[in-house]
Amino acid sequence: MKAFDYEKDREALVRRRKKRRLAVVLWGCALAMLCALGLILVWMTGIHLGSARRVAPPAMKPAVQIANFRFNRTPKAQGEAESLVKFADGEVLGARYPKMEDETLDTLMKEDAQSLIDAIEGSYQQNPDHKTVITMDYDIIPCGSYVSVVYHVIQDFSDGAQQQHQVKTFLYDAKANQRLTNQDVFGENYPKFVSQYVRQYFGSQDGIREQVDSEAFQSATDPDWENFSHVSYTRDGVTIYFDAGRLSDVSTGVLSVTIPAKEIYQQMKLNVTGYTKEYTLPDDVDPSKPMIALTFDDGPYSPVGNRILDALEQVGGRATFFYLGNRVNDETSDVIKRAYGLHCEIGSHSYDHSNLTKLSGDDINSQLSKTDKKLKKMIGIPADVIRPPYGAVNDLVKKTVSKPIVTWSLDTLDWKTKNKDSIEKKILEHVEDGDIILMHELYTSTAEACESVIPKLAKEYQLVTVKELLTARGFKLENGKIYYHGIKK
């Protein structure tokens, strides 16, 4: 198949046709002249893919079709677009795809566009008797650091057959410059959840509810990954696309369902939409009264963690536990689930206590995502907040981390002294309203100190989580921002 550049080759193509007509006039007779007039008439009428989508008669030559080809969509796009027009024996393909400034991302998008073009060509070359015009155009939908590209592939037939309209989608992480699949984004329950949502949604829509019980509709919405593979993302929700004729008669065109982010958020392993569930303070937290947040790093470690939880439970208090991902396993599952069940806050302390300031952006993401994956498998949710090991933060960490960063205002030095009395004295002599207090879920001495000091603290302060403390004091938690106390100046 020969590539055709509309802007460059049209004039040359027209000149060649005029010379050919002149030769026919010189050689021919009256009959030949009549034929030439007929060809001119055909050339003048041509094919123009505008809003009316007129298709050339079967006898139209491909070169004439191309000379009059037009894209009829205005892409929702950022940056520039690249395009090409190709023709075979009676088939015309016009394709347009995005051009990105970042070379790696641009290469990925070109590869996917080319694979789609190849698939289209392979499809219509298998049906040489069909005279068709195919347009492939796109919308590009940014969502934070992610980009959805939605291709619309429309096929018109010269014999008047019903137009075909398909949608293909691709998702890219523009920060990491990589392509993502649905399996990268969603957990294993995604097909089941979407199947139920789609059936319920269309069951309430006029014009299609009558077909919901049909075998074809049920098959197309079975809880299978492939049935819900064409997806785009915005901060408001996730849109699932169905090709024309997939759920109902082809004349209804492409159908889509947008699931609000707040409803599909729990199905995500990767928060592509950037949705954050609106947080409200528990009824037992009084913003007008003194409060502190006890925090524990380096766990989970059941022998210490359970003793801390015992002391908290006795006074109705809560704390924040910053877990290391490599300690989240079957042996520690009981203490993790117990902490979560007592409404303590679960945070991330990285995967293996690496100094994040010495890592690349990809490695920082890996440290957090591996921990989140294990936590989500264990308790159903990722970490709310992060405490970087050693409290070490730089600009790259702040830019990369997609959670609020929590340090501390009072360090007990329990890791250094490993002495119950010293830990307790440090807290009682220095504690103030709004403090975020640092301890470690590793040492027996810390457990002993908590058993003694927590009842004393509870008489004067509300023992709350970091998120509860900051929210009560009017802070708006933002990803990549550092919080070290609950006193708003």
Token code pair at residue 404: 């609020």
Q: Is 343 a catalytic residue?
A: no
Choosing from 156, 297, 414, 435, the catalytic residue is 297
Kindly list the strands in the beta sheet with 231-233, ordered across the sheet, starting from the edge strand earlier in the chain: 231-233, 237-242, 255-260
The H or E element that residue 38 is part of is helix 30-45
Q: Please name every residue paired with 149 in a beta bridge, in sequence order, or none if there are none.
A: 140, 170
Match 């640092």 to its residue by tokens. 438
Specify the 3-state DSSP secondary structure of 39. helix
Q: Is 440 a catalytic residue?
A: yes
Token code pair at residue 49: 């893919």
Token code pair at residue 310: 């015992």
User: DSSP string of 305-323?
Assistant: HHHHHHHHHHHT---EEEE
Angle at 162 (CA atoms; ends 159, 166), nearest 5 degrees: 125
Choosing from 230, 384, 435, 440, the catalytic residue is 440
Rg (CA), the chain: 32
The span from the CA of 416 to the CA of 295, in Å, is 17
Q: What letter would DSSP give residue 210?
A: G
Catalytic residues: 297, 440
